[in-house]
Copies of this chain bind each other. A is one copy, B any other.
């Protein structure tokens, strides 16, 4: 095998641990200097390849690369740029291969969700027909936990941990003051299509009367009347009610509650978000004092409280991606495989990309309680190990010491610019 360079890119929404996968790819590649030349990273993801805007990771020190293990966000930049089908946009695929060829890139590591798995597969296929074979390995990443054929996705465990802890902490706050103050607290979490993140909030519940008292999932049609009845009953029973709502909560007709079409006095669509919409609903019908929080990016960037399990798995999929490449594998993804033991164990498996691409894994109905407002024992058994362990970053002056790479560019070799 002649020595080839590698290309690594981050795709889609970043996570608290995607850089741990980057760390693993670079550290592992550096162990095989006879087989892998340089690891180039795409500046801002795949558009860095399209623009021939590559970052030379060999310019980064060993300790900077190690620092990625405890640094959230995307160290090289990520992007939301979905390559369309081969028929629709063959030029983009051909450009990628042209750039890879120009920089002697033989390995393509693409770190993302379902869309990027699909891109990865297509690039690999087209490279063959174009006579410049590439080994394309997909590295799973998504806070949404919706990739199929892997027990879970790196990135999810840390969001799950953040959401479970935040729910627990805020609920204790509400409980201790509900006698004279806030009765209803709503936390809005991510998850437009699948309720995995909202479900994780259920881990905060140690006893039956504990928060969260109501979880709203995208998988369960929102029934306003029933919901308000449940809120009222919970406040009556406990003195307060804590609600965790997935941003994807929707009515029977499919419209999101957050986009409920209300307009302000100027005719602008109300950008209220789901949490204030629910709060308004409760106030109007039941009159309770409320508070609400929207975690938004805080939840997926919260490296300070990342799950150790998640960090370890993010590293392992990056490491195995390189090992797979060196074994000559192509169009595959390292997956996380759960052992059959009672005590949680996991290992890295291998999945062919044509099984993964463009499929979504929804939260099973068996994970949601009968009334639709909570999670089941099965869900707890699945979710709990994923938030296990803490993996604290180092601190200086009270703040985490996150690394910022130099991100030095690679000299361009192609004369043409590519218009995105």
The CB with the most chain B CB atoms within 10 A, among A44, A71, A176, A185, is that of A176
A60-81 near B? 1/0 per residue, CB < 8 Å: 0000000000011111111111
A201 to chain B, nearest CB (A): 11
Task: Please give me the residue from chain B that is nearest to A160 by CB atom.
Answer: B398
Across the interface, which residues of B come within 8 angstroms of A172, CB to CB? 71-73, 301, 402
Question: Are A176 and B75 within 8 A (Cβ)?
Answer: yes
Question: Interface stretch among A115-123, A271-279, A324-332?
Answer: A271-279
If the complex has contacts A172-B72, A301-B170, A387-B398, are A265 and B262 also in contact, measured as CB distance less than 8 A?
yes
A residues contacting the other copy or chain, number (CB 8 A): 82
A264's partner among B72, B181, B262, B297 (CB-CB below 8 A) is: B262
A392 within 8 A of B: yes
Question: Are A284 and B268 within 8 A (Cβ)?
Answer: yes
Question: Are A177 and B304 within 8 A (Cβ)?
Answer: no
A161 within 8 A of B: yes
A154 to chain B, nearest CB (A): 16
If the complex has contacts A271-B279, A276-B276, A297-B291, are A402 and B168 also in contact, measured as CB distance less than 8 A?
yes
If the complex has contacts A168-B399, A263-B265, A271-B276, are A73 and B175 also in contact, measured as CB distance less than 8 A?
yes
Q: How far is the CA of A51 from the CA of B305 in the complex (A)?
A: 41
Across the interface, which residues of B come within 8 angstroms of A392, CB to CB? 390, 392
Which chain A residues numbered 302 to 332 have a C-beta less than 8 Å away from chain B? 302-305, 307
Across the interface, which residues of B come within 8 angstroms of A175, CB to CB? 73
Question: Are A180 and B47 within 8 A (Cβ)?
Answer: yes
Task: Please give me the residue from chain B that is nearest to A180 by CB atom.
Answer: B79
Question: Are B47 and A179 within 8 A (Cβ)?
Answer: yes
If the complex has contacts A165-B304, A399-B204, are A78 and B177 also in contact, measured as CB distance less than 8 A?
yes
A270 within 8 A of B: yes
A275-293 near B? 1/0 per residue, CB < 8 Å: 1100110011000000111
If the complex has contacts A176-B77, A384-B398, are A292 and B302 also in contact, measured as CB distance less than 8 A?
no
Q: How far is the CA of A168 from the CA of B74 in the complex (A)?
A: 14
A149-173 near B? 1/0 per residue, CB < 8 Å: 0000000000001001110111011
Across the interface, which residues of B come within 8 angstroms of A180, CB to CB? 44-45, 47, 79-81
Question: Are B297 and A174 within 8 A (Cβ)?
Answer: yes
A160 to chain B, nearest CB (A): 9
Across the interface, which residues of B come within 8 angstroms of A400, CB to CB? 165, 168-169
A260 to chain B, nearest CB (A): 10
Task: Please give me the residue from chain B that is nearest to A13 by CB atom.
Answer: B177
If the complex has contacts A172-B72, A266-B262, A280-B268, are A292 and B293 also in contact, measured as CB distance less than 8 A?
no
Across the interface, which residues of B come within 8 angstroms of A298, CB to CB? 166, 169-170, 187, 293, 295, 298
A388 within 8 A of B: yes
8 contacts between A and B (CB under 8 A): A72-B169, A165-B304, A173-B297, A273-B276, A273-B292, A291-B296, A293-B298, A295-B298
